[in-house]
Amino acid sequence: MSSEAITSEDMVEVDYDDLIPNNVDLASDRALKRAMEKWQPKYIDWWKDMGPNGFQESQVYLRTAVGVDKDGWAKFGYVKMPEYRWGILLAPEVEGRTIPFGKHKGEPAWQEIPGEYRSLLRRLIVIQGDTEPASVEQQRYLGKTCPSLYDLRNLFQVNVEEGRHLWAMVHLLQKYFGRDGREEAEALLERRSGDADRPRMLGAFNEETPDWLSFFMFTYFTDRDGKMQLESLAQSGFDPLSRATRFMLMEEAFHMFVGETGVGRIIDKTCQVMNEHGITDPNDVDAVRAHGAIDLPLLQRKANFHMSVTRDLFGAEVSTNAATYFNAGLKGRFNESKLEDDHQLENETYSVTRFQDGAFVDEDVPALNAINCRLLDDYMKDCQGGINRWNKIISKAGIDFELSQPHKAFNRRVGEFSEINASPDGDVLGDADWNARETEWLPEPEDLQYLKDIMKPVTEPGKFASWIAAPRVGVDSKEGDFEYVQLQ
Ligand SMILES: [Fe+2]
Ligand SMILES: [Fe+2]
């Protein structure tokens, strides 16, 4: 990075002399430094234990954040993952920032924790923090069946960045919450995805990620929940949380890119196979599978699963907890500053779809209580862009098939619709009907077995598995046969 590139006073250099790269002046904060240095070896133990299985010695062509400005945050080079420089990076401080919403709206943003909100904030940070290592754990065996070295490298990039997101939350816990913060930081390394006794905190983060289609669906749909949560926390009146999450969002964008292009390349390959072999009916599943590609109906069923499970992460649509967080100025709404209302919502309402007396009704509820519903609605809109682009790939190939989002009530375990069975079209079914038809809408055991069967590792540079097309461009503009991972 040339010194001319650093033009603004908000550029803060990372302290590379420290064990822990950071732009929070860790060297002069001895208590924090000691706490982080004590936690760091435990983190590395966790990474070696629960991180990518079988690749700890491989050289991986990874992006490392060495600063928060646009030139500094993406330095590429080979590194062994346990030696990755995980660090603490906050987005630049916004001078004179005020709390943008809630009952403290307009007051200066907090640089320290307000005593009355200590436990609420700790809960928010711990829940966010818990999702980060959880996804690394869920994805730890995927490397063994990578469809290419390009994809393997992208998986590992996502994994190390989720690790860094854990660091970001642990930094806040260690810096601002004293002893109980330190205990929470340890507990974040002790829970395990899918563990019966000490599971991760949220449902979707205890599901398996058994195959690469699941990984791409997860990074498109579930990392997008991460985006929505981070966007809400980026509004927080607690400024260090706002700054931490704003920087995390830059990394999150890559995770969703991996998901969108991953699914897009699968669709691309499926369409190629169909056209090459004269398969005109997308529902002629056997014909598509005979060529080792993934049929479009299966993609829809997988998407249905990931969408419905991820929607549950938003919590109950109508929630007094969410109202409390908003009112207190701790967690805002998506695009809070662009919304045209009083940002306090004392007298506003929001239309929530509910199931009452056997029918879906739209009911105006106090907007403060509908914060989760609104975020879920925003999320569903945000999901649509990639789905439209996937559909374009299909229609361009001349194939008559369209992917879509299921009804909001489909397959829900949390919130307004947790007690009913709704089809993707929004028809409400009795248990017997649901059980009889579930496999039309959600992956069935044969689907999952088929996916398992085609997950054969491809590790020759520039080569790809039978079910996925090559990417249009390489990482860091590398050539198609670049060796993104040097296996050991
Ligand atoms: Fe993350
Ligand atoms: Fe992510």
Q: Which domain holds residue 175?
A: 3-486
Ligand nearest to C-alpha 254: 2
How many whole angstroms from 76 Cα to the centroid of ligand 1? Answer: 20
pLDDT > 50? residue 9? no
Q: How large is the average pLDDT for residues 276-300?
A: 98
Output the pLDDT for position 203.
86
How many independent structural domains does the chain possess? 1
How many whole angstroms from 160 Cα to the centroid of ligand 1? Answer: 10
Q: How many CB atoms lie under 10 A from the CB of residue 373? A: 26
pLDDT category, 3, cuts 50, 70, 90?
very low
How many whole angstroms from 291 Cα to the centroid of ligand 1? Answer: 35
How many whole angstroms from 366 Cα to the centroid of ligand 2? Answer: 32
Nearest to 329 by CA among 97, 109, 181: 109
Q: Which ranges of 80-148 does DSSP label H, i.e. alpha helix? A: 118-138
How many whole angstroms from 298 Cα to the centroid of ligand 2? Answer: 24
Q: How many CB atoms lie under 10 A from the CB of residue 3? A: 6
Nearest to 11 by CA among 77, 87, 86, 66: 66
Output the pLDDT for position 72.
65
Q: How many CB atoms lie under 10 A from the CB of residue 28? A: 9
What value, to the nearest 5°, has the Cα angle with vertex 234 and ends 104 and 347?
40
DSSP letter at 205? Answer: G
Tokens (6 digits) for 16: 């590379």
Tokens (6 digits) for 349: 């309402």
CA distances from 106 to 115, 123, 261 (A): 19, 24, 41
pLDDT category, 2, cuts 50, 70, 90?
very low
How many whole angstroms from 252 Cα to the centroid of ligand 1? Answer: 6
Q: How large is the average pLDDT for residues 315-330?
A: 97
Ligand nearest to C-alpha 162: 1
Is residue 271 within 8 A of residue 397, CB to CB? The reply is: yes
C-alpha–C-alpha distance, residues 401 and 394, integer Å? 7
Strand pairing category for 359-366 and 421-422: unpaired
Ligand nearest to C-alpha 245: 1
pLDDT > 70? residue 8? no
Output the pLDDT for position 166.
98
Is residue 330 within 8 A of residue 120, CB to CB? The reply is: yes
How many whole angstroms from 32 Cα to the centroid of ligand 2? Answer: 26
pLDDT > 70? residue 5? no
pTM value > 0.75? yes
pLDDT category, 15, cuts 50, 70, 90?
low
Q: Mean pLDDT across the chain, nearest whole number?
A: 94
Q: How large is the average pLDDT for residues 55-61?
A: 97
How many whole angstroms from 187 Cα to the centroid of ligand 2? Answer: 20
Ligand nearest to C-alpha 224: 2
pLDDT > 90? residue 230? yes
Output the pLDDT for position 20.
79
pLDDT > 60? residue 16? no
Tokens (6 digits) for 220: 């498109």
- Residues of the chain above pLDDT 70, percent: 96
Is residue 51 within 8 A of residue 142, CB to CB? The reply is: no
Q: How large is the average pLDDT for residues 281-292?
A: 98
CATH number at residue 359: 1.10.620.20
